[in-house]
Each structure stands twice: as structure tokens, then as C-alpha cells.
Amino acid sequence: MNRKYFDYLEQTAPEAAAILESRSFRSLLHYPRHIYTNTYDHSVRVAVCMAWLAARSGADPNSAVKVGLLHDLCFVDYTRKNDHPGLYCFYHPEEAAANAMREFGLTRKEARAIRAHMFPLSVHLPSSKLAFRLLLADKAVALYEVLLGVHFLRNRVSHFAARRIIHTR
């Protein structure tokens, strides 16, 4: 991922540097997300989006970037068979909020925003502007990643098909 995104986050929110450098956040590099990306890159994208939205609405940039970075801090690989009870889409906001609270500390508003980021799949309603922005940023980034993932898979398939045609001629 481009260095300019990290610089932007660290300039916007001084707390971002400690999160980005932490071992637990860096471990998200090993958890796949949305076909071709990983949870680390996804969270950085959501945080950049949150920083941008906060700058345009006069909201607290620290809180915005923090929930963006930590909203998926759940250490389960949902693409592999695992013995975690329940469905990932339902339990990961709760676990992310608990993990983020334990390691980095969250305000009640930040914890609620993280718990509600999968609405309407979560039982928690987005109850603040911060929560609505997180919901919006997460959905927009997820859509972008899925579309890029489909594009990536289509290129791989056409590349593979082209090689097969060349080899069978």
C-alpha cells in the first residue's frame, strides 16, 4: 500500500502511528478479506475514508481514524474452516470492539460505532454520526474491494485461458 496513505493517517490522527506499528494490528496482514485483499489494507482504506469524511464535517479526526483502523480487529480467518461459534459477520464487530478496547482503549461512542458497523446484520443500531460514517466508509471500501477482486479474478481467468489457447494450438 502507498506510503502516502500512512502519512495522511499519521498527520490527521497522532494516535494512528501506535496502532499501525502494533503487533496485533500488523497481524491483520495475515487475514484475507474481500476476495483479494487483507484485513490490514482494508482497515487502512476505511481509516483513510474516515479521515476524509471527518475533515469535511469538522468531526474529531482521532476518533474517526481510530474506529476506521480498529473496526475489524478480529483474529479469525473467515475464509478457512474454523471452530469459532457463530457467523463471522455477526460476531466480528463485538470481538473487534473488545480487542480494541483491551489494547488501545476506546470511548463508549467509539466502541458502539465499531459494534454497529455491520448494521443491519448486527443487533446494534448506529447511534451517532461517527457510527454512520463508519458504516458508510466500510460499505464503500468493501464494494471497491469486491469490484477490484472481481476485476483481478477476471484478468487471471482470461490470462489462463489465453495461455491454454496458445499451448493447444
Task: Considering only residues 113 through 132, tell me which ones interact with Fe ion, judged by CB under 5 A.
Answer: none
Q: What's the closest the beta carbon of residue 139 comes to Fe ion, in angstroms? A: 9
- Compare residues 110 and 138 and give the one whose CB is closer to Fe ion: 138
Work out how close the CB of 152 gets to Fe ion at its nearest, in angstroms, rounded to a whole number. Answer: 19
Interface with Fe ion (CB under 5 A), residue from 72, 94, 110, 145: 72
Q: Which three cell numbers stand for residue 148?
A: 477490484
Tell me the DSSP string of the chain.
--HHHHHHHHHH-TTHHHHHHSHHHHGGGGSEETTTEEHHHHHHHHHHHHHHHHHHHT--HHHHHHHHHHTT-----TTS----SS-HHHHHHHHHHHHHHHHH---HHHHHHHHTTTTTSSSSPP-SHHHHHHHHHHHHHHHHHHHHHHHHHHHHHHHHHHHHHHHH-
Q: Does 94 bind Fe ion (CB under 5 A)?
A: no
Segment near Fe ion (CB under 5 A); pick from 2-10, 14-22, 72-80, 158-166: 72-80
Q: Which of residues 2-61 bind Fe ion (CB under 5 A)?
A: none
Please tell me whether residue 138 binds Fe ion under the rule CB under 5 A.
yes
Residues touching Fe ion: how many (CB under 5 A)?
Answer: 2
Supply the minimum distance, in Å, between the C-beta of residue 42 and Fe ion. 6
Of the two residues 72 and 94, which places its CB atom closer to Fe ion in the complex? 72
Where do contacts with Fe ion occur on this chain (CB under 5 A)? 72, 138
